[in-house]
Amino acid sequence: MRVFGLSVIVAGCACAASAFTAVNGINAFTEGGDARFEVISERGAGPREIWCAAAQYARVVLGEAPNTRIYLARVIGPSPQYDSKNSASFTTRPDSTLASGPRPGDGGNYSVSLKTTGYSLRLAHAEGFCPRIIEEWID
């Protein structure tokens, strides 16, 4: 009985440890596949906050370089994993359909999208949407 109880506690800890929290407080989780992950939208979060979390997940968890493109694999909508939450899925290893998706500036549109599958940004561009955590003090 003690071994079973310990197993449940360890399994519970492993699930909680799989979450990544970006500097803006938004969580991302591995979704399956080599480099696919889900970013959970929090109340008041817009596309810039979601892309920030995606960029930080790609850099910190996946170890991707700043020039790596991040692709929107599933548009913002109900999370397949978490009830009553909205989320979007991203990947850094796109298939040919995602890889041919739109980029900022296509058709004169520079908006950051969570509504077009295949839309992509460079990691460094998306991470630029994150809040600065260290302020510069100039005397």
One pLDDT digit (tens) per residue for the chain, 139 residues? 444 333 333 333 334 447 899 999 999 999 987 799 999 999 889 999 999 999 999 999 999 999 999 999 999 999 998 889 999 999 999 999 999 999 888 888 888 989 999 999 999 999 999 998 766 666 5
pTM listed for this prediction: 0.82
Q: Which residues contact 86 (CB under 8 A, 6 or more apart)?
A: 40, 41, 76, 77, 78, 79
Residue of 97, 16, 88, 84 whose CA lies nearest to 55: 88
Q: How far apart are CA 104 and CA 67, in angstroms?
A: 15
Q: How far apart are CA 105 and CA 45, in angstroms?
A: 23
